[in-house]
Amino acid sequence: MVEISAQLVQGPVFLSGETIECAVTFVNTKTGNASDRSEYESLAWASAQILCQCSVNESRVKLYQQSSPSRQSSKETTSVNRQTSFVPSTGERGMTVLSSKPTILFCDLNLNPGETKTYIYREEIPKNCVPSFKGQNVKYSYKVTIGAQKVDQPTRLLKIPFRVLSMQGLAEYSVYQEMSQVKPSNPFVQTSQKQPTVLDVALEILQTVTSKKAPHFFNITNTRGKVTRFCLFKEAYKLGDDVIGSFDFSSAEVPCVQFTASLQSIESIKDSCKAAPDQQTTVFTHGKKHEFSLHMDKTHISLQIPDVVTPSFDTDIGKTVSLKWRLHFEFVISVHDIPGHPAPKSPTESSTWRGPANLEVENMEWDLPIKVFPTNPLHLSDNQSKAVTKVIVD
């Protein structure tokens, strides 16, 4: 009996373009005499491959025509020899949108009782691949699939899920020139420069893009005048960041009784993939703050972006779906002016203000787009256990 275990070396979170490393260990669980040939265990072969599956809500999304060769579900790719061949999509739902070339780990492996052999599987994740995404209409999931087989025995599969963060949208920022600044050098000393990795370049870009603080001010008005002034300190954020903004009601012309600020993601289906032409986008709220603002001069909001969500991406990468982020505001505005609270004439006096029993109000909504980028995948991997996945080959 052979036990196969696998573990992702750097954790379960990666950026597109990074190289994934998976340690695959084969153990002969028998404890007999090493000189006894009957205690030996032999495996004919073992192979590994990266797979990305796409599953959709068929009531809202239509993908390809049935005759298209790209639409091949796990059920359609099975054949008469499925038990003895390496079919990574066996047991998976949906269609395969990314499949790397299979890598052979070994052929004809013999293990003595208690002997252990470990192999490292390495594969580069494509730079333009879709990110891991679990939406209301579309789901993209990544797995490393390892297959092994004994002679004349069915193939056993071991699957390790991992998460991919997309780098889409960062190429438009010209920060590469900032990285290649001219530095003084000695022509008589030979120096060797280390080639930066994909992760190094990505983190440099992310730091440059998301650390820029340029306050943006917005005067929010309706037909009767100014409601408030909102300040957003920056518009680009990483996963796990706090979106902080401030309200200034001191110069308002229309009394705002209360407001609600929400952090939302918008999942949009490509027009050619919509099941119905008039189908609306799907909006999901990740955080909300509610506050009364009557007679208030200034206040602020702070909404944290969860580190388990998916950064922004568009249909150039997702092909079928795009994801955008925004701040959604709902204001409850009084139709009539509300008298303020008269201040006491001296510090020794006190006064009580009683609000009106009924107010005639109207609602107003306003949306402000923001950009959400990935973060350092090592930070996310530290928050998740490096689980070991095992399977037994009889």
pLDDT (tens digit per residue) in 185-195: 556 565 556 67
The mean per-residue pLDDT over the stretch 163-172 comes to 70
Q: How many helices (H) and strands (E) does the chain have?
A: 4, 20
d(CA 67, CA 325): 36
pLDDT (tens digit per residue) in 117-146: 999 999 999 888 889 999 989 999 999 999
Question: What pairing do the DSSP bridges indicate for beta strands 236-238 and 361-373?
Answer: parallel
Amino acid at the residue 36: D
Lowest-confidence range among 158-162, 255-259, 265-269, 386-390? 386-390
More confident residue, 283 or 350: 283
On the 0-12 / 13-18 / 19+ scale of CB atoms within 10 A, 330 is middle
- Cβ neighbours of 93 (radius 10 Å): 14
Quote the pLDDT of residue 286. 96
Quote the pLDDT of residue 50. 95
Complete DSSP assignment for 326-361: EEEEEEEEESS----PPPPSSTT--------S---E
Quote the pLDDT of residue 345. 77
pLDDT (tens digit per residue) in 83-122: 667 787 887 888 888 999 999 999 999 988 888 999 999 9
Contacts of 222 (CB under 8 A, 6+ apart): 254, 333, 364
The mean per-residue pLDDT over the stretch 337-352 comes to 77
Residue 328 in this model has a pLDDT that exceeds 70: yes
Quote the pLDDT of residue 45. 92
pLDDT (tens digit per residue) in 20-53: 999 999 998 888 776 666 678 899 999 999 999 9
pLDDT (tens digit per residue) in 271-304: 888 888 888 899 999 999 999 998 889 999 999 9
Query: Of 60, 158, 121, whose CA–CA distance to 392 is shortest?
Result: 158
Query: Of 107, 133, 60, whose CA–CA distance to 315 is shortest?
Result: 133
Name residue, tokens 């939406």: 135
Complete DSSP assignment for 43-108: EEEEEEEEEEEEEE-TTTB--S-TT-TT--BTTTT--TTTTTS--TTTT--SEEEEEPPPEEEEEE
Alpha-carbon distances of 198 from 16, 123, 136, 309, rounded to whole Å: 9, 14, 31, 22
Residues 320 and 270 sit within 8 Å (Cβ to Cβ): yes
The mean per-residue pLDDT over the stretch 249-275 comes to 92
Quote the pLDDT of residue 67. 36
- Cβ neighbours of 213 (radius 10 Å): 8
Contacts of 196 (CB under 8 A, 6+ apart): 179, 204
Quote the pLDDT of residue 182. 47
Residue 173 in this model has a pLDDT that exceeds 50: no
The mean per-residue pLDDT over the stretch 295-320 comes to 86
Residue 68 in this model has a pLDDT that exceeds 80: no
Quote the pLDDT of residue 168. 63
With bands split at pLDDT 50, 70 and 90, how would you rate the model's confidence at 172? very low
Structure tokens at 232: 């957003």
With bands split at pLDDT 50, 70 and 90, how would you rate the model's confidence at 72? very low
Amino acid at the residue 335: V
pLDDT (tens digit per residue) in 187-223: 656 555 667 777 888 888 888 888 888 899 999 999 9
Quote the pLDDT of residue 213. 82
- Size of the chain, expressed as the number of residues it contains: 394
Percent of the chain with pLDDT over 70: 84
d(CA 88, CA 47): 10
**R_g (Cα) of the chain, nearest Å:** 29
More confident residue, 81 or 83: 83
For residue 210, the SS3 value is helix
d(CA 182, CA 233): 32
Contacts of 182 (CB under 8 A, 6+ apart): none
Amino acid at the residue 225: G
For all residues of the chain together, what is the average pLDDT? 83
d(CA 55, CA 321): 12
Alpha-carbon distances of 51 from 97, 130, 211, rounded to whole Å: 8, 12, 34
- Cβ neighbours of 292 (radius 10 Å): 12
Quote the pLDDT of residue 84. 60
Quote the pLDDT of residue 191. 58
Quote the pLDDT of residue 154. 87
Name residue, tokens 């001219």: 182
Q: How many CA atoms lie within 13 A of 329 on its CB side?
A: 24
Q: Is the pTM of this model over 0.85?
A: no
